[in-house]
Amino acid sequence: MTYEDFLTYLLIMGAQADLKVTEDEKALIIQKVGEENFVRVKRIFDRQNDAQHIDTVTELYQKYSSDIGGKENLVKALRESFVLGNDGKEHVMDRYMLMMLKKIL
């Protein structure tokens, strides 16, 4: 997986926080990463269980950690490169990603 795939994976994981990716969330992610990338990464995500999601995030974080420079920079990259809403408000996905990253990385 590429770095962009990693960020896409995290966005999907955040959208899945309430156990369902809504059409609005899907549209926002596709708008940012493209439909092909979304479909490919979502297919991988859907084939995995929760433990595998954590393993994937951990492995990809380790793979790109020297490029990222820490959890805070990863969250910053997610927010800057893949801002989900244009309203400037923090969304459930943002909170979930922060919480998840703090716990598993």
Dump pLDDT digits (tens) for 66-81: 777 777 777 776 666 5
Collect contacts of 66-71 with beta carbons under 8 A, ≥24 apart.
67/3, 71/101, 71/102, 71/105
pTM of the model: 0.78
Give the pLDDT score at 84: 47
Computed over its alpha carbons, how large is the radius of gyration of the chain? Answer: 13
